[in-house]
Structure 1
Amino acid sequence: MASPMIDSHHHFWDPASGGDYGWLSGPFEPLNRKFEPGDLRPALQANDVSGTVLVQTWNDLGETWDFIETAANTDFVAGVVGWVDLTDPHVADTLAELQQSPNGKWLVGIRHLIQTESDPNWLLRDDVRRGLQAVQDAGLVYDLVPNLPQLPSAIKTTETFPELRFVLDHISKPNIKNREYDEWAELMQGFRSERRHVWCKLSGMITEADWQNWTPGDLRPYVDHVLEIFGPDRCMFGTDWPVCLVAGGYDDVIGVLRECLPDLTARQREQIFGGSAIEAYKLPGFQS
Protein backbone atom coordinates (compact mmCIF):
# COMPACT_ATOMS: atom_id res chain seq x y z
CA MET A 1 0.00 0.00 0.00
CA ALA A 2 1.39 3.42 -0.97
CA SER A 3 2.31 5.88 1.76
CA PRO A 4 0.02 8.91 2.18
CA MET A 5 0.98 11.99 0.18
CA ILE A 6 1.59 15.06 2.34
CA ASP A 7 1.96 18.66 1.17
CA SER A 8 4.38 19.92 3.82
CA HIS A 9 4.00 23.63 3.11
CA HIS A 10 1.02 25.80 2.27
CA HIS A 11 -0.74 28.88 3.58
CA PHE A 12 -4.15 30.42 4.12
CA TRP A 13 -4.66 34.17 4.50
CA ASP A 14 -7.17 36.98 4.43
CA PRO A 15 -5.67 40.42 3.67
CA ALA A 16 -8.82 42.02 5.07
CA SER A 17 -7.96 40.63 8.51
CA GLY A 18 -5.39 43.36 9.10
CA GLY A 19 -2.33 41.12 8.90
CA ASP A 20 1.07 42.10 7.52
CA TYR A 21 0.31 41.43 3.86
CA GLY A 22 1.86 44.50 2.28
CA TRP A 23 3.95 42.22 0.07
CA LEU A 24 0.77 41.21 -1.80
CA SER A 25 1.33 44.03 -4.28
CA GLY A 26 3.15 44.56 -7.56
CA PRO A 27 3.75 41.17 -9.18
CA PHE A 28 2.05 39.45 -6.23
CA GLU A 29 -1.13 41.53 -6.57
CA PRO A 30 -3.09 38.57 -8.06
CA LEU A 31 -2.73 36.85 -4.66
CA ASN A 32 -4.20 39.79 -2.76
CA ARG A 33 -7.41 38.01 -1.81
CA LYS A 34 -8.66 35.52 0.74
CA PHE A 35 -7.40 31.93 0.46
CA GLU A 36 -9.14 29.32 2.62
CA PRO A 37 -9.60 25.54 2.82
CA GLY A 38 -12.29 25.41 0.15
CA ASP A 39 -9.90 26.96 -2.37
CA LEU A 40 -7.27 24.27 -1.84
CA ARG A 41 -9.46 21.19 -1.48
CA PRO A 42 -10.06 20.52 -5.22
CA ALA A 43 -6.32 20.47 -5.96
CA LEU A 44 -5.67 18.08 -3.08
CA GLN A 45 -8.41 15.73 -4.24
CA ALA A 46 -7.19 15.84 -7.86
CA ASN A 47 -3.68 14.88 -6.78
CA ASP A 48 -4.53 12.34 -4.04
CA VAL A 49 -2.94 14.46 -1.32
CA SER A 50 -3.97 13.01 2.04
CA GLY A 51 -2.83 15.77 4.39
CA THR A 52 -1.11 19.12 4.62
CA VAL A 53 1.00 21.28 6.90
CA LEU A 54 -0.40 24.80 7.29
CA VAL A 55 2.42 27.32 7.77
CA GLN A 56 2.38 30.80 9.33
CA THR A 57 2.24 33.83 7.03
CA TRP A 58 3.26 36.62 9.41
CA ASN A 59 4.74 37.01 12.86
CA ASP A 60 1.54 37.04 14.89
CA LEU A 61 0.42 34.85 17.79
CA GLY A 62 -3.23 35.40 16.96
CA GLU A 63 -2.71 33.71 13.60
CA THR A 64 -1.26 30.68 15.39
CA TRP A 65 -4.39 30.36 17.51
CA ASP A 66 -6.55 30.78 14.40
CA PHE A 67 -4.55 28.17 12.48
CA ILE A 68 -4.80 25.43 15.11
CA GLU A 69 -8.56 26.02 15.17
CA THR A 70 -8.58 25.79 11.37
CA ALA A 71 -6.70 22.49 11.59
CA ALA A 72 -9.23 21.11 14.06
CA ASN A 73 -12.06 22.01 11.68
CA THR A 74 -10.42 21.00 8.37
CA ASP A 75 -10.12 17.33 7.55
CA PHE A 76 -6.96 17.64 5.46
CA VAL A 77 -4.82 19.93 7.66
CA ALA A 78 -2.60 17.49 9.53
CA GLY A 79 -0.44 20.00 11.38
CA VAL A 80 0.35 23.69 11.88
CA VAL A 81 3.67 25.50 11.90
CA GLY A 82 2.81 28.62 13.84
CA TRP A 83 4.56 31.63 15.34
CA VAL A 84 5.47 32.62 18.86
CA ASP A 85 7.77 35.40 20.03
CA LEU A 86 11.03 33.54 20.64
CA THR A 87 12.46 36.62 22.38
CA ASP A 88 9.69 36.70 25.00
CA PRO A 89 11.01 35.55 28.41
CA HIS A 90 7.69 33.72 28.88
CA VAL A 91 7.74 31.92 25.52
CA ALA A 92 7.74 28.50 27.24
CA ASP A 93 4.46 29.41 28.95
CA THR A 94 2.98 30.53 25.63
CA LEU A 95 3.92 27.23 24.00
CA ALA A 96 2.46 25.29 26.92
CA GLU A 97 -0.79 27.26 26.69
CA LEU A 98 -1.05 26.52 22.97
CA GLN A 99 -0.26 22.83 23.37
CA GLN A 100 -2.59 22.32 26.31
CA SER A 101 -5.52 24.02 24.57
CA PRO A 102 -8.31 21.89 23.03
CA ASN A 103 -6.72 22.23 19.58
CA GLY A 104 -3.14 22.09 20.79
CA LYS A 105 -2.25 18.75 19.23
CA TRP A 106 -2.29 20.36 15.80
CA LEU A 107 0.68 22.60 16.60
CA VAL A 108 3.69 20.72 15.23
CA GLY A 109 6.24 23.47 14.66
CA ILE A 110 7.26 27.10 15.01
CA ARG A 111 8.61 29.54 12.41
CA HIS A 112 9.79 33.14 12.37
CA LEU A 113 10.29 35.15 9.18
CA ILE A 114 13.99 35.68 9.82
CA GLN A 115 14.55 37.19 6.37
CA THR A 116 12.57 40.24 7.54
CA GLU A 117 15.05 40.90 10.36
CA SER A 118 17.74 43.51 9.66
CA ASP A 119 20.32 41.42 11.53
CA PRO A 120 21.35 38.36 9.47
CA ASN A 121 22.51 36.77 12.73
CA TRP A 122 19.18 37.23 14.50
CA LEU A 123 19.00 33.50 15.19
CA LEU A 124 22.23 33.69 17.20
CA ARG A 125 20.96 36.22 19.73
CA ASP A 126 20.84 34.97 23.33
CA ASP A 127 17.13 35.68 23.71
CA VAL A 128 16.34 33.85 20.47
CA ARG A 129 18.45 30.88 21.54
CA ARG A 130 16.50 30.74 24.79
CA GLY A 131 13.32 30.65 22.74
CA LEU A 132 14.65 27.87 20.53
CA GLN A 133 15.44 25.86 23.66
CA ALA A 134 11.79 26.26 24.66
CA VAL A 135 10.72 24.96 21.23
CA GLN A 136 12.97 21.95 21.73
CA ASP A 137 11.66 21.33 25.25
CA ALA A 138 8.11 21.44 23.87
CA GLY A 139 8.95 18.69 21.38
CA LEU A 140 8.21 20.87 18.37
CA VAL A 141 9.99 21.43 15.05
CA TYR A 142 11.59 24.74 14.15
CA ASP A 143 11.19 25.77 10.50
CA LEU A 144 14.09 27.77 9.07
CA VAL A 145 13.24 30.17 6.25
CA PRO A 146 16.49 31.96 5.37
CA ASN A 147 17.59 33.81 2.31
CA LEU A 148 21.28 33.60 1.42
CA PRO A 149 22.41 36.24 4.01
CA GLN A 150 20.79 34.29 6.88
CA LEU A 151 22.00 30.87 5.74
CA PRO A 152 25.27 30.84 7.77
CA SER A 153 23.43 31.66 11.00
CA ALA A 154 20.81 29.01 10.19
CA ILE A 155 23.53 26.39 9.80
CA LYS A 156 25.20 27.51 13.03
CA THR A 157 21.87 27.23 14.82
CA THR A 158 21.39 23.61 13.74
CA GLU A 159 24.88 22.87 15.05
CA THR A 160 24.08 24.52 18.39
CA PHE A 161 20.85 22.56 18.88
CA PRO A 162 21.60 18.97 17.85
CA GLU A 163 18.49 17.64 19.65
CA LEU A 164 16.05 20.09 18.02
CA ARG A 165 14.34 18.98 14.81
CA PHE A 166 14.73 21.57 12.04
CA VAL A 167 13.06 21.86 8.65
CA LEU A 168 14.70 24.10 6.04
CA ASP A 169 12.01 25.77 3.93
CA HIS A 170 12.24 26.28 0.16
CA ILE A 171 15.82 24.90 -0.13
CA SER A 172 16.85 28.29 1.32
CA LYS A 173 15.42 30.24 -1.64
CA PRO A 174 18.33 30.36 -4.13
CA ASN A 175 18.00 32.78 -7.06
CA ILE A 176 17.11 30.20 -9.68
CA LYS A 177 15.94 32.79 -12.19
CA ASN A 178 19.45 34.20 -12.53
CA ARG A 179 21.10 30.79 -12.12
CA GLU A 180 22.92 31.88 -8.96
CA TYR A 181 24.17 28.52 -7.78
CA ASP A 182 27.78 28.35 -6.57
CA GLU A 183 27.61 30.38 -3.35
CA TRP A 184 24.29 28.79 -2.36
CA ALA A 185 25.61 25.30 -3.12
CA GLU A 186 28.76 25.83 -1.07
CA LEU A 187 26.87 27.21 1.93
CA MET A 188 24.33 24.40 1.83
CA GLN A 189 27.17 21.92 2.39
CA GLY A 190 27.15 23.11 6.00
CA PHE A 191 24.01 21.07 6.61
CA ARG A 192 25.70 17.82 5.62
CA SER A 193 26.92 17.03 9.13
CA GLU A 194 23.54 18.02 10.64
CA ARG A 195 21.24 15.97 8.43
CA ARG A 196 20.41 13.60 11.30
CA HIS A 197 18.07 16.23 12.73
CA VAL A 198 17.50 18.57 9.75
CA TRP A 199 15.07 18.05 6.87
CA CYS A 200 14.81 20.13 3.69
CA LYS A 201 11.65 21.10 1.83
CA LEU A 202 11.74 20.75 -1.93
CA SER A 203 9.34 23.66 -2.14
CA GLY A 204 9.09 27.26 -3.31
CA MET A 205 11.33 26.64 -6.30
CA ILE A 206 9.22 27.77 -9.24
CA THR A 207 8.63 31.05 -7.43
CA GLU A 208 12.40 31.62 -7.36
CA ALA A 209 12.68 30.76 -11.07
CA ASP A 210 11.52 32.75 -14.11
CA TRP A 211 7.76 32.77 -13.52
CA GLN A 212 6.82 32.66 -17.19
CA ASN A 213 9.59 30.52 -18.64
CA TRP A 214 10.88 28.05 -16.02
CA THR A 215 11.55 24.46 -17.00
CA PRO A 216 12.36 21.31 -15.00
CA GLY A 217 15.93 21.71 -16.21
CA ASP A 218 16.19 25.03 -14.37
CA LEU A 219 15.31 23.37 -11.08
CA ARG A 220 17.09 20.05 -11.49
CA PRO A 221 20.63 21.16 -10.44
CA TYR A 222 19.27 22.58 -7.18
CA VAL A 223 17.19 19.49 -6.44
CA ASP A 224 20.14 17.23 -7.22
CA HIS A 225 22.38 19.17 -4.84
CA VAL A 226 19.86 19.06 -1.99
CA LEU A 227 19.38 15.33 -2.49
CA GLU A 228 23.14 14.80 -2.46
CA ILE A 229 23.43 16.62 0.87
CA PHE A 230 20.32 15.44 2.72
CA GLY A 231 19.41 12.21 0.94
CA PRO A 232 15.81 11.31 0.03
CA ASP A 233 15.10 10.34 3.64
CA ARG A 234 15.56 13.95 4.77
CA CYS A 235 13.77 15.75 1.92
CA MET A 236 10.07 16.53 1.68
CA PHE A 237 7.61 17.84 -0.89
CA GLY A 238 5.75 21.10 -0.42
CA THR A 239 3.85 23.36 -2.81
CA ASP A 240 4.02 26.75 -1.07
CA TRP A 241 0.45 27.26 -2.29
CA PRO A 242 -0.93 29.84 -2.93
CA VAL A 243 2.37 31.70 -3.37
CA CYS A 244 3.27 29.24 -6.13
CA LEU A 245 0.29 30.42 -8.21
CA VAL A 246 2.25 33.39 -9.56
CA ALA A 247 4.46 30.90 -11.42
CA GLY A 248 2.33 27.78 -11.87
CA GLY A 249 -0.58 25.72 -10.65
CA TYR A 250 -0.69 23.10 -7.92
CA ASP A 251 -0.39 20.34 -10.53
CA ASP A 252 2.66 22.06 -12.03
CA VAL A 253 4.52 22.03 -8.71
CA ILE A 254 3.92 18.33 -8.24
CA GLY A 255 4.73 17.51 -11.85
CA VAL A 256 8.01 19.37 -12.00
CA LEU A 257 9.27 17.81 -8.78
CA ARG A 258 8.48 14.36 -10.11
CA GLU A 259 10.40 15.20 -13.28
CA CYS A 260 13.38 16.23 -11.13
CA LEU A 261 13.42 12.85 -9.36
CA PRO A 262 13.79 10.35 -12.23
CA ASP A 263 16.43 8.13 -10.67
CA LEU A 264 14.87 7.44 -7.28
CA THR A 265 13.23 4.21 -6.18
CA ALA A 266 9.50 4.04 -5.43
CA ARG A 267 10.27 3.95 -1.71
CA GLN A 268 12.47 7.04 -1.94
CA ARG A 269 9.76 8.94 -3.81
CA GLU A 270 7.18 7.95 -1.19
CA GLN A 271 9.54 9.23 1.49
CA ILE A 272 9.85 12.63 -0.20
CA PHE A 273 6.15 12.92 -1.02
CA GLY A 274 4.93 11.98 2.45
CA GLY A 275 7.13 9.97 4.76
CA SER A 276 9.56 12.73 5.63
CA ALA A 277 6.85 15.21 6.61
CA ILE A 278 5.15 12.61 8.80
CA GLU A 279 8.43 11.76 10.53
CA ALA A 280 9.76 15.30 10.97
CA TYR A 281 6.52 16.86 12.19
CA LYS A 282 5.14 13.75 13.93
CA LEU A 283 1.82 14.52 12.30
CA PRO A 284 -1.26 13.58 14.36
CA GLY A 285 -3.30 10.97 12.55
CA PHE A 286 -0.39 9.69 10.47
CA GLN A 287 1.78 8.11 13.16
CA SER A 288 2.06 4.31 13.07
Structure 2
Amino acid sequence: MIIDAHQHFWDPARADYPWMAADELTPIRRAFGPADLAPLLKANGVDASILVQCRSALEETDEFLRIAHENPFVVGVVGWADLTDGALGETLDRLRASPGGGKLVGIRHQVHDEADPDWLLREDVQRGLTAVFARDLAYDFLVRARELPSAIASAQAFPQARFVLDHTAKPPIADGGSEVWADRIAALGACDNVWCKISGLATEAVWNDWDAERLFPFVAHAARCFGEDRLIFGSDWPVCLLAGSYGKIKNALEACLAKLGPQLRAKAFGVNATRAYRLAIAS
Protein backbone atom coordinates (compact mmCIF):
# COMPACT_ATOMS: atom_id res chain seq x y z
CA MET A 1 0.00 0.00 0.00
CA ILE A 2 1.32 3.44 -1.02
CA ILE A 3 0.46 6.12 1.53
CA ASP A 4 0.71 9.89 1.20
CA ALA A 5 1.33 10.72 4.85
CA HIS A 6 0.83 14.48 4.61
CA GLN A 7 -1.98 16.31 2.81
CA HIS A 8 -4.50 19.03 3.64
CA PHE A 9 -8.04 20.17 2.89
CA TRP A 10 -9.28 23.73 3.40
CA ASP A 11 -11.82 26.35 2.32
CA PRO A 12 -10.81 30.00 2.90
CA ALA A 13 -14.41 31.06 2.23
CA ARG A 14 -15.54 29.20 5.34
CA ALA A 15 -12.64 29.65 7.77
CA ASP A 16 -9.64 31.86 8.50
CA TYR A 17 -6.10 30.65 7.74
CA PRO A 18 -3.69 33.36 8.99
CA TRP A 19 -0.66 31.73 7.37
CA MET A 20 -2.33 32.00 3.96
CA ALA A 21 -2.40 35.81 3.87
CA ALA A 22 0.83 36.37 1.88
CA ASP A 23 0.39 37.44 -1.74
CA GLU A 24 2.55 34.61 -3.07
CA LEU A 25 0.03 32.10 -1.68
CA THR A 26 -2.82 33.42 -3.84
CA PRO A 27 -2.71 30.37 -6.18
CA ILE A 28 -3.73 28.05 -3.33
CA ARG A 29 -6.16 30.43 -1.61
CA ARG A 30 -9.24 28.49 -2.68
CA ALA A 31 -11.13 25.42 -1.57
CA PHE A 32 -9.48 22.00 -1.80
CA GLY A 33 -11.35 18.88 -0.74
CA PRO A 34 -11.58 15.10 -1.15
CA ALA A 35 -13.04 15.33 -4.65
CA ASP A 36 -9.94 17.26 -5.77
CA LEU A 37 -7.43 14.86 -4.24
CA ALA A 38 -9.00 11.47 -5.00
CA PRO A 39 -8.29 11.52 -8.77
CA LEU A 40 -4.71 12.69 -8.15
CA LEU A 41 -4.07 9.77 -5.81
CA LYS A 42 -5.47 7.33 -8.36
CA ALA A 43 -3.49 8.83 -11.24
CA ASN A 44 -0.25 8.63 -9.25
CA GLY A 45 -0.67 5.15 -7.81
CA VAL A 46 -1.30 6.28 -4.23
CA ASP A 47 -3.74 4.16 -2.23
CA ALA A 48 -4.36 6.22 0.89
CA SER A 49 -3.57 9.49 2.66
CA ILE A 50 -3.22 11.07 6.07
CA LEU A 51 -5.08 14.36 6.48
CA VAL A 52 -3.18 16.95 8.54
CA GLN A 53 -4.44 20.04 10.38
CA CYS A 54 -4.19 23.50 8.83
CA ARG A 55 -5.48 25.83 11.57
CA SER A 56 -5.72 25.98 15.35
CA ALA A 57 -9.38 25.08 15.74
CA LEU A 58 -11.16 22.08 17.17
CA GLU A 59 -13.90 22.63 14.60
CA GLU A 60 -11.42 21.68 11.89
CA THR A 61 -10.44 18.49 13.71
CA ASP A 62 -14.11 17.53 14.01
CA GLU A 63 -14.62 18.25 10.31
CA PHE A 64 -11.54 16.26 9.29
CA LEU A 65 -12.72 13.24 11.26
CA ARG A 66 -16.09 13.43 9.50
CA ILE A 67 -14.29 13.62 6.15
CA ALA A 68 -12.18 10.59 7.08
CA HIS A 69 -15.34 8.73 8.10
CA GLU A 70 -16.91 9.44 4.70
CA ASN A 71 -13.80 8.88 2.55
CA PRO A 72 -12.07 5.51 2.97
CA PHE A 73 -8.88 6.70 1.26
CA VAL A 74 -8.25 8.99 4.27
CA VAL A 75 -6.80 6.42 6.66
CA GLY A 76 -5.64 8.81 9.36
CA VAL A 77 -6.10 12.34 10.71
CA VAL A 78 -3.47 14.43 12.47
CA GLY A 79 -5.70 17.02 14.08
CA TRP A 80 -5.32 20.05 16.31
CA ALA A 81 -6.18 20.30 19.97
CA ASP A 82 -5.04 22.81 22.57
CA LEU A 83 -2.06 21.29 24.37
CA THR A 84 -2.31 24.00 27.06
CA ASP A 85 -5.92 23.12 27.95
CA GLY A 86 -6.19 21.39 31.31
CA ALA A 87 -9.17 19.45 29.95
CA LEU A 88 -7.29 18.20 26.88
CA GLY A 89 -7.73 14.55 27.86
CA GLU A 90 -11.52 14.93 27.88
CA THR A 91 -11.37 16.69 24.50
CA LEU A 92 -9.31 13.89 22.98
CA ASP A 93 -11.69 11.29 24.36
CA ARG A 94 -14.62 13.14 22.80
CA LEU A 95 -12.88 13.36 19.44
CA ARG A 96 -12.05 9.66 19.46
CA ALA A 97 -15.68 8.78 20.26
CA SER A 98 -17.04 10.89 17.37
CA PRO A 99 -17.75 9.63 13.83
CA GLY A 100 -14.35 8.98 12.28
CA GLY A 101 -12.70 9.24 15.68
CA GLY A 102 -11.01 5.90 15.21
CA LYS A 103 -8.91 7.54 12.50
CA LEU A 104 -7.47 10.18 14.83
CA VAL A 105 -3.80 9.15 14.81
CA GLY A 106 -1.98 12.27 15.95
CA ILE A 107 -2.03 15.90 17.10
CA ARG A 108 -0.16 18.89 15.67
CA HIS A 109 0.34 22.58 16.42
CA GLN A 110 2.12 25.27 14.34
CA VAL A 111 5.04 25.50 16.76
CA HIS A 112 7.20 27.45 14.31
CA ASP A 113 4.68 30.31 14.50
CA GLU A 114 5.07 30.68 18.28
CA ALA A 115 7.24 33.61 19.44
CA ASP A 116 8.94 31.43 22.04
CA PRO A 117 11.35 28.91 20.45
CA ASP A 118 10.99 26.80 23.62
CA TRP A 119 7.18 26.75 23.52
CA LEU A 120 7.20 22.94 23.42
CA LEU A 121 9.00 22.87 26.77
CA ARG A 122 6.42 24.94 28.65
CA GLU A 123 5.00 23.04 31.61
CA ASP A 124 1.43 23.26 30.33
CA VAL A 125 2.46 22.06 26.86
CA GLN A 126 4.42 19.13 28.28
CA ARG A 127 1.38 18.23 30.37
CA GLY A 128 -0.69 18.30 27.18
CA LEU A 129 1.78 16.00 25.44
CA THR A 130 1.38 13.58 28.35
CA ALA A 131 -2.37 13.48 27.66
CA VAL A 132 -1.74 12.88 23.94
CA PHE A 133 0.59 9.97 24.56
CA ALA A 134 -1.63 8.47 27.24
CA ARG A 135 -4.14 7.89 24.41
CA ASP A 136 -1.53 6.25 22.17
CA LEU A 137 -1.54 9.13 19.69
CA ALA A 138 1.51 10.47 17.88
CA TYR A 139 2.63 14.09 17.94
CA ASP A 140 3.75 15.89 14.77
CA PHE A 141 6.55 18.43 15.11
CA LEU A 142 5.94 21.45 12.84
CA VAL A 143 9.23 23.23 13.50
CA ARG A 144 12.17 24.86 11.78
CA ALA A 145 15.81 24.79 12.89
CA ARG A 146 15.07 27.45 15.54
CA GLU A 147 12.68 25.14 17.42
CA LEU A 148 14.58 21.88 16.91
CA PRO A 149 16.35 22.01 20.32
CA SER A 150 12.96 22.01 22.06
CA ALA A 151 11.79 19.18 19.81
CA ILE A 152 14.88 17.16 20.69
CA ALA A 153 14.32 17.77 24.40
CA SER A 154 10.66 16.75 24.08
CA ALA A 155 11.53 13.54 22.26
CA GLN A 156 14.04 12.74 25.00
CA ALA A 157 11.49 13.54 27.73
CA PHE A 158 8.99 11.03 26.31
CA PRO A 159 11.13 8.09 25.13
CA GLN A 160 8.13 5.73 24.85
CA ALA A 161 6.08 8.20 22.76
CA ARG A 162 5.93 8.53 18.97
CA PHE A 163 6.88 11.80 17.27
CA VAL A 164 6.82 12.64 13.55
CA LEU A 165 8.87 15.53 12.15
CA ASP A 166 7.01 17.35 9.39
CA HIS A 167 8.75 18.63 6.25
CA THR A 168 12.21 17.59 7.50
CA ALA A 169 12.08 20.78 9.64
CA LYS A 170 11.88 22.93 6.49
CA PRO A 171 15.54 23.14 5.44
CA PRO A 172 16.54 26.40 3.70
CA ILE A 173 17.00 24.73 0.31
CA ALA A 174 16.67 27.97 -1.65
CA ASP A 175 19.65 29.34 0.30
CA GLY A 176 21.78 26.25 -0.24
CA GLY A 177 21.19 24.61 3.12
CA SER A 178 22.34 25.24 6.68
CA GLU A 179 24.84 23.53 8.99
CA VAL A 180 22.61 24.43 11.95
CA TRP A 181 19.68 22.61 10.34
CA ALA A 182 21.87 19.64 9.39
CA ASP A 183 23.38 19.28 12.86
CA ARG A 184 20.08 19.64 14.68
CA ILE A 185 18.34 17.16 12.37
CA ALA A 186 21.09 14.68 13.18
CA ALA A 187 20.54 15.21 16.90
CA LEU A 188 16.79 14.66 16.51
CA GLY A 189 17.38 11.58 14.39
CA ALA A 190 19.43 10.13 17.25
CA CYS A 191 16.12 9.88 19.16
CA ASP A 192 14.78 6.54 17.93
CA ASN A 193 11.16 7.50 18.73
CA VAL A 194 11.07 10.16 15.98
CA TRP A 195 10.10 9.59 12.34
CA CYS A 196 10.80 12.14 9.58
CA LYS A 197 8.51 13.13 6.73
CA ILE A 198 10.17 13.84 3.41
CA SER A 199 7.51 16.41 2.56
CA GLY A 200 7.29 20.10 1.79
CA LEU A 201 10.80 20.24 0.34
CA ALA A 202 10.00 21.67 -3.09
CA THR A 203 8.34 24.71 -1.51
CA GLU A 204 11.53 25.36 0.49
CA ALA A 205 13.44 25.50 -2.82
CA VAL A 206 13.05 28.19 -5.49
CA TRP A 207 9.53 27.41 -6.67
CA ASN A 208 10.20 27.71 -10.39
CA ASP A 209 13.77 26.40 -10.36
CA TRP A 210 14.17 23.02 -8.67
CA ASP A 211 14.39 19.34 -9.53
CA ALA A 212 15.03 16.03 -7.81
CA GLU A 213 18.79 16.55 -7.99
CA ARG A 214 18.54 19.72 -5.92
CA LEU A 215 16.36 18.05 -3.31
CA PHE A 216 18.49 14.92 -3.09
CA PRO A 217 21.21 16.18 -0.65
CA PHE A 218 18.51 17.06 1.89
CA VAL A 219 16.69 13.76 1.45
CA ALA A 220 19.99 11.88 1.71
CA HIS A 221 20.93 13.70 4.92
CA ALA A 222 17.54 12.89 6.44
CA ALA A 223 18.04 9.25 5.43
CA ARG A 224 21.43 9.17 7.15
CA CYS A 225 19.93 10.67 10.31
CA PHE A 226 16.73 8.62 10.55
CA GLY A 227 17.52 5.43 8.66
CA GLU A 228 15.32 3.39 6.35
CA ASP A 229 12.74 2.55 9.03
CA ARG A 230 11.88 6.13 10.01
CA LEU A 231 11.61 8.03 6.72
CA ILE A 232 8.09 8.80 5.42
CA PHE A 233 6.77 10.18 2.11
CA GLY A 234 4.30 13.06 2.13
CA SER A 235 3.15 15.28 -0.72
CA ASP A 236 2.13 18.36 1.32
CA TRP A 237 -0.68 18.81 -1.22
CA PRO A 238 -2.08 21.36 -1.97
CA VAL A 239 0.71 23.57 -0.57
CA CYS A 240 3.05 21.75 -2.95
CA LEU A 241 1.16 23.18 -5.94
CA LEU A 242 3.09 26.42 -5.44
CA ALA A 243 6.17 24.56 -6.70
CA GLY A 244 4.74 21.81 -8.89
CA SER A 245 1.94 19.36 -9.60
CA TYR A 246 1.17 16.40 -7.35
CA GLY A 247 2.80 14.10 -9.91
CA LYS A 248 5.96 16.19 -10.17
CA ILE A 249 6.37 16.26 -6.40
CA LYS A 250 5.80 12.52 -5.98
CA ASN A 251 8.07 11.61 -8.89
CA ALA A 252 10.89 13.82 -7.60
CA LEU A 253 10.76 12.34 -4.10
CA GLU A 254 10.48 8.84 -5.52
CA ALA A 255 13.61 9.46 -7.60
CA CYS A 256 15.48 10.69 -4.52
CA LEU A 257 14.43 7.73 -2.41
CA ALA A 258 15.14 5.22 -5.19
CA LYS A 259 18.76 6.42 -5.31
CA LEU A 260 19.04 5.46 -1.66
CA GLY A 261 17.89 1.90 -2.30
CA PRO A 262 14.70 0.02 -3.19
CA GLN A 263 14.08 -1.14 0.37
CA LEU A 264 14.26 2.39 1.78
CA ARG A 265 11.97 3.65 -0.97
CA ALA A 266 9.42 0.90 -0.35
CA LYS A 267 9.32 1.54 3.39
CA ALA A 268 9.08 5.33 3.03
CA PHE A 269 6.08 5.02 0.74
CA GLY A 270 3.95 3.00 3.12
CA VAL A 271 5.06 0.75 5.94
CA ASN A 272 6.88 3.46 7.92
CA ALA A 273 3.79 5.68 8.04
CA THR A 274 1.71 2.68 9.09
CA ARG A 275 4.06 2.04 12.00
CA ALA A 276 4.58 5.68 13.03
CA TYR A 277 0.85 6.35 13.22
CA ARG A 278 -0.26 2.79 14.03
CA LEU A 279 -2.72 2.89 11.17
CA ALA A 280 -5.52 0.33 11.32
CA ILE A 281 -4.83 -1.00 7.82
CA ALA A 282 -2.83 -3.84 6.29
CA SER A 283 0.79 -2.67 5.92
> Which TM-score band applies after superposition, normalised by the shorter structure?
over 0.9
Partner of 2:7: 10
Q: Does 1:26 align with 2:23?
A: yes
TM-score by length of 2: 0.97
Q: Does 1:266 align with 2:272?
A: no
Between the aligned partners of 2:81 and 2:19, the Cα distance in structure 1 is 21
Partner of 1:245: 241
Q: Identity over aligned residues, as a percent? A: 45
Q: 1:39 to 1:102 in 2, by over 3 A?
A: closer
2:174 counterpart SS class? coil
Show structure 1 runs of 4+ deviating over 6 A: none
Question: Deviation at 1:22?
Answer: 5.1
Partner of 1:165: 162
Q: 1:262 to 1:52 in 2, by over 3 A?
A: closer
Between the aligned partners of 1:259 and 1:166, the Cα distance in structure 2 is 26
Partner of 1:85: 82
1:223 counterpart SS class? helix
Question: Deviation at 1:220?
Answer: 1.0
List runs of 5+ in structure 1 lacking aligned partners: none
Partner of 1:124: 121
Partner of 2:221: 225
RMSD: 1.2
The farther-off stretch of 63-72 and 148-157 is 148-157
1:53 counterpart SS class? strand
Q: CA contact under 8 A between 1:56 and 1:63: conserved in structure 2?
A: yes
Between the aligned partners of 2:101 and 2:257, the Cα distance in structure 1 is 36
Between the aligned partners of 1:89 and 1:101, the Cα distance in structure 2 is 21
2:173 counterpart SS class? coil
Q: How many residues align?
A: 283
Residues 161-219 of structure 1 deviation map (CA, whole Å, 9 limit, x = unaligned)? 11110000000001100112211101111123212x11000000000001001122211
Question: Deviation at 1:103?
Answer: 2.0
Q: CA contact under 8 A between 1:15 and 1:34: conserved in structure 2?
A: yes
Question: Deviation at 1:135?
Answer: 0.5
Partner of 2:59: 62
Between the aligned partners of 1:102 and 1:56, the Cα distance in structure 2 is 17
List runs of 5+ in structure 2 lacking aligned partners: none
Q: Does 1:205 align with 2:209?
A: no
Question: Deviation at 1:148?
Answer: 1.6
2:232 counterpart SS class? strand
Between the aligned partners of 1:48 and 1:132, the Cα distance in structure 2 is 35
TM-score by length of 1: 0.95
Partner of 2:141: 144
Q: 1:184 to 1:151 in 2, by over 3 A?
A: same
Residues 116-143 of structure 1 deviation map (CA, whole Å, 9 limit, x = unaligned)? 1111100000000000000000100000
Partner of 2:211: 215
Residues 134-160 of structure 1 deviation map (CA, whole Å, 9 limit, x = unaligned)? 000010000001012111111111011
Partner of 1:96: 93
Q: CA contact under 8 A between 1:115 and 1:145: conserved in structure 2?
A: yes
